[in-house]
Amino acid sequence: MTTLFISDLHLCSDRPEINRSFFGFLEHEAKSARALYILGDLFEYWAGDDDLPDPFNASVTGALARLAASGVPVFLMHGNRDFVIGDAFAHASGVTLLPDPALLDLYGTPTLLMHGDTLCTLDRDYQAFRREARSEVWIRAMLARPLSERRAAIEALRRQSEQEKRSKSEAIMDVDPSEAEAALRRHGYPRLIHGHTHRPAFHRHSVDGHVCERWVLADWYQRGSYLACDESGCRAVQLSP
Ligand code: MN
């Protein structure tokens, strides 16, 4: 049995092909997994758990809940798009929320799970925004606003960030390798699995004489994909479109 990892699905109601892929993945590949880990940005954005009744959101939580009820543990880490997902979402979908980072014993190999945005330290503007937006005060103030207002504010933020991305260099938006190595050192030289950069890859880092694997998960913009790990290691798998 394998343990599956996905991230950066960016689910939203206006991308029906990817949504079909995701529901199919939950009903087939994930059904026979030992566990499923979703490492952030499951949604294009999440405005708050009071948006659970929205029909599309309800279809996602329902599908996750069916998988969890069938006996496959599902774990969810926040991404930068859906970091206000809370306990009501976790309850409705049967998932267990994971802190970022989370260290896991994966078939005997210590494995560090992260969304990945904290590793992109060359992007100082983003890191400054992240520090502010992840504070309890900021989140509480945001969730106190009416849902419609929150949705509009997030749309505006997304447009702004799309524009900023165009003027930022590719290097600035990628993982700073020295930051990845610092995280590996801090956690005792584990294997690292993360998403966020949308640059699927397998890296090897030599840290203080330890060789550490770093797997970067693919996004689901064009097609779905996942990382499957077992006793013999990990492999990236693409879903048929
Ligand atoms: Mn992300």
* Residue of 13, 96, 115, 28 lying closest to 60 (CA atoms): 13
Cβ-contact 110, 193 below 8 angstroms: no
pLDDT at 82: 96
Separation between Cα atoms, residue 208 and residue 44, nearest integer Å = 38
- Percent of residues, the chain, with pLDDT higher than 90: 90
DSSP single-letter state for residue 53:
T
Per-residue pLDDT for 24 more than 80? Answer: yes
> From the CA of 209, how far away is ligand 1's center (Å)?
30
Q: What is the pLDDT of residue 20?
A: 96
Beta carbons of 134 and 83 less than 8 angstroms apart: yes
| pLDDT band of 53, cuts 50, 70, 90 | very high
Q: What is the pLDDT of residues 72-128, one digit of tens each?
A: 999 999 999 999 999 999 999 999 999 999 999 999 999 999 999 999 999 999 999
* Residue 159: per-residue pLDDT: 87
Full residue range of the structural domain in which residue 183 is found: 3-238
Give 131-141 pLDDT, tens digit per residue. Answer: 999 999 999 99
- Better-scored residue on pLDDT, 95 or 166: 95
| CATH assignment of the domain containing 104 | 3.60.21.10
Measured over all CA atoms, what is the biggest interatomic distance in the chain, rounded to whole angstroms? 53
Q: How many CB atoms lie within 10 A of CB 132?
A: 10
| Ligand 1 mean position, distance from CA 7 (Å) | 8
Cα 227 to Cα 73: distance, rounded to the nearest angstrom: 16
What is the gyration radius of the CA atoms in the chain, in angstroms?
17
The closest alpha carbon to 73, from 118, 121, 37, belongs to 37
Cα of 9 vs centre of ligand 1, distance in Å, is 10
Question: In total, how many domains does the chain have?
Answer: 1
Query: Cα–Cα distances in Å, from 202 out to 23, 42, 161, 195, 235?
Result: 27, 22, 27, 12, 9
Ligand 1 centroid from CA 95, angstroms: 19
Ligand 1 centroid to residue 44 C-alpha, Å? 9
The set of residues, in sequence order, having a beta carbon less than 8 Å from that of 68 and lying 6+ positions away, is: 74, 93, 94, 95
The predicted structure's pLDDT at residue 195: 98
Give the model's confidence band at 241: pLDDT under 50 very low, under 70 low, under 90 confident, else very high. confident
Q: Rounded to the nearest whole angstrom, what is the distance from the C-alpha of residue 55 to the centroid of ligand 1? A: 24
Q: Is 199 helix (H, G, I), strand (E, B) or coil?
A: coil
Q: Residues 217, 227: contact at Cβ < 8 Å?
A: yes
Per-residue pLDDT band at 160 (split at 50, 70, 90): confident
What average pLDDT does range 38-61 have in this prediction?
Answer: 97
